[in-house]
Amino acid sequence: MDISPILISLKTASLSIVITFFSGILAAYLVVNMKNGKLKAVIDGLLTLPLVLPPTVAGFFLLYIFGVQRPAGAFLLNFLGVKIVFTWGATVLAAVVISFPLMYRSARGAFEQVDETLLYAARTIGMPEWKIFWRVLMPPALPGIVSGCILTFARGLGEFGATAMIAGNIAGKTRTLPLAIYSAVAGGNMDGAYEYVVILAGIAFLAVVGINCLTVKERRCKGKGAAQ
């Protein structure tokens, strides 16, 4: 068995979760604090769009933006010497774009569930905003954010459509697990596909079990408080 798809997939999903974790939380924090209701709805729609679009459509847009014949792609290639399409970077880009809405929406939901009088109280006792973020907003939002993280990681790991569009299917370079499974099946190698499928399903199953454990733990904490 060629283990390169497993490594490429884990590398891609790991880097993309780091990127989506910070950008998703930042975007959620900014959107939650937006005052203008209409602008908020539009921005929220744009940030969520990759979740509801077919991944091939998202991949098409990415190709349209970063293709070497396109202004953005040409700029990156000519001035920074960076080529995105059909490189490992493109697999990360595809995973980030597709899985970002999951992180963003989970974080947004988690932030919105935090009682806003806690934030008001923190301000009126002089806590600076960064401290409020870390010590008042984040702790109650954390279980929601962590389960969002796991979903996001699993989604990044399973990304196929957009990756195929922008990164291609280059063995040892951009061939991730889902693409390896597709290629194996297309080449009639059902046994090879089977191995990859078991590995991918195992990782996804662990992720879901992880979420459930977290939810149970959270419920137990709340119960302890109420029992007093």
Site residues for another protein per CB under 8 A? 115, 117-118, 120-128, 135-136, 139-140, 224-226, 228
Q: In angstroms, give the least distance from the CB of 140 to another protein.
A: 6
Buried b (16+ CB within 10 A) or exposed e, 120-155: eebeeeeeeeeebbeebbbeebebbbbbbbbbbbbb
Q: Do 177 and 199 contact (CB within 8 A), yes or no? A: yes
Q: In angstroms, give the least distance from the CB of 9 to another protein.
A: 36
Q: In angstroms, give the least distance from the CB of 120 to another protein.
A: 5
If one counts every other C-beta atom within 10 angstroms of the C-beta of residue 86, the result is: 16
Q: How far apart are CA 161 and CA 55, in angstroms?
A: 5
In this complex, which beta carbon is closest to another protein, that of residue 72 or of residue 118?
A: 118
In this complex, which beta carbon is closest to another protein, that of residue 133 or of residue 182?
A: 133
In this complex, which beta carbon is closest to another protein, that of residue 80 or of residue 125?
A: 125
In this complex, which beta carbon is closest to another protein, that of residue 7 or of residue 118?
A: 118
Q: In angstroms, give the least distance from the CB of 32 to another protein.
A: 16
Sign of the alpha-carbon torsion through 16, 214, 139, 36: positive
